[in-house]
Amino acid sequence: MENEVYAFALETALSEIQNLCPEITHSFIFTHDGELLAGDKATDRKTMVRVVDSFDGVLEKADSLGGIEEITLQGSKGRVQVSCINKNLYMVTVTSKKADPTYVNMVSRVLIPTVLKMLEKLNPTSLKNTFPQKNEILEKPKPEPEPEPGKPEIDLKLDLPAEVSLEKTEEKEEELSPEPWKPEEEPVLEETEEPELPEKPLEIPTSQLIVDTIGGLLVKGDTVRIDKNLLDEWAELCGEEKIKEVEIETFTGQTVQCKVKPITDSKYKDKGLIRIPEKLRRKLDVKRGELVRVSPWIEPKNEEKEEKEKES
């Protein structure tokens, strides 16, 4: 109820201002937080809310500069003036082009503050509740219903652009130039030579073959015959171009070293045979059909020969 009384008092004051200065076509009062307190009868609430919202950004920037005293927007059809009544209240007046700015300021800046002082003396507590402080959070008024069709909507926009100058003095801070970042030097790891591993001794392959005899006038007594595929396999494993000699060992422990050639007779190929001359077979004391161990004999290199001679 008390808020309605104060709003009625302010609306009456605005009407009296228009009576004293008919060049003031529209006027209303709003708080720093954008709440409408009072307005003249000629201006609908929707228009006032739109005008207040348009000044939100300007007032926020002005707070960082210590606030504003007055904003004037001059257009071809008239002028809009926003005046700071006190720390929390602002008054908007729209005047025609013929209005005297000095007279308008004198009327608005005298009558409204006088009414506020009178209201504060009557009931200061209620006045503080009616006019909120800057830091208080207030709910914005709900939008009013659309104006009646017969009542024209008043547009407060002016044709010419407004010029509002807000000056702010900023203190320049000394710029500290950071030292350029330098990457840490990575420690250089010395390459250490890996010790040479001794070469693995050559593993001589061994195969078990079935004894068969070979005879004839042209047969050499110190040469045996083995499948060519087996000789080629041994040569590849031993890294030799050709296997020329083999070592034969019986299961009784008899050994002999002899020359070797591939089997040429197709009847004896790929049957796992070793064809031994008759004289050599008797020396080994083996019979046809028995198994013997056969391995290629690789002649040692010069270095190996020297080591063996030193050991002996």
Instruction: Please report which confidence band the pLDDT of residue 239 belongs to, taking 50, 70 and 90 as the band edges.
Output: confident
Instruction: Please report which confidence band the pLDDT of residue 312 belongs to, taking 50, 70 and 90 as the band edges.
Output: low
| Candidate ranges 155-159, 203-207, 277-281; pick with highest mean pLDDT | 277-281
Contacts of 69 (CB under 8 A, 6+ apart): 83, 84
25-29, 84-88, 226-230, 235-239: least confidently modelled range: 84-88
Instruction: Please report which confidence band the pLDDT of residue 135 belongs to, taking 50, 70 and 90 as the band edges.
Output: very low
pLDDT of residue 166: 40
User: From CA 271, how far away is CA 62, in angstroms rounded?
Assistant: 110
Contacts 24+ apart (CB under 8 A), 242-245: 243/296, 245/296, 245/297, 245/299
pLDDT of residue 309: 61
**Gyration radius of the chain over CA positions:** 60
Average pLDDT over residues 90-117: 81
Across the strands, what pairs with 83? 70, 91
Average pLDDT over residues 95-121: 79
- Domain ranges within the chain, ordered by starting residue: 2-130, 207-302
Measured on CA atoms in the order 188, 190, 191, 195, is the torsion positive or negative? negative
More confident residue, 27 or 153: 27
Q: Checking DSSP bridges between strand 223-226 and strand 255-262, what pairing results, if any?
A: parallel
More confident residue, 210 or 144: 210
Task: State percent of the chain over pLDDT 90.
Answer: 16
Instruction: Please report which confidence band the pLDDT of residue 133 belongs to, taking 50, 70 and 90 as the band edges.
Output: very low
Chain mean pLDDT for the chain: 75
pLDDT of residue 286: 92
More confident residue, 101 or 262: 262
Given this structure, which CATH class describes domain 2-130? alpha beta
Q: Which residue has the tokens 């000044």?
A: 55
More confident residue, 259 or 98: 259
More confident residue, 230 or 109: 230
pLDDT of residue 11: 83
206-210, 218-222, 263-267, 277-281: least confidently modelled range: 218-222
* Tokens (6 digits) for 265: 């007779």
Instruction: Please report which confidence band the pLDDT of residue 105 belongs to, taking 50, 70 and 90 as the band edges.
Output: confident
Amino acid identity at 15: S
7-16, 44-53, 62-71, 180-189: least confidently modelled range: 180-189
pLDDT of residue 45: 85
**Ranges of H-type helices in 21-137:** 45-54, 56-64, 101-122, 124-130
Average pLDDT over residues 102-115: 78
Note whether 226 and 214 are within 8 A (CB): no
Instruction: Please report which confidence band the pLDDT of residue 144 belongs to, taking 50, 70 and 90 as the band edges.
Output: low
Tell me if the domain spanning 207-302 has CATH number 2.40.40.20: yes
Question: The whole model's pTM is what?
Answer: 0.39
pLDDT of residue 211: 92
H or E stretch covering 208:
strand 207-214
Average pLDDT over residues 202-221: 84
pLDDT of residue 124: 56
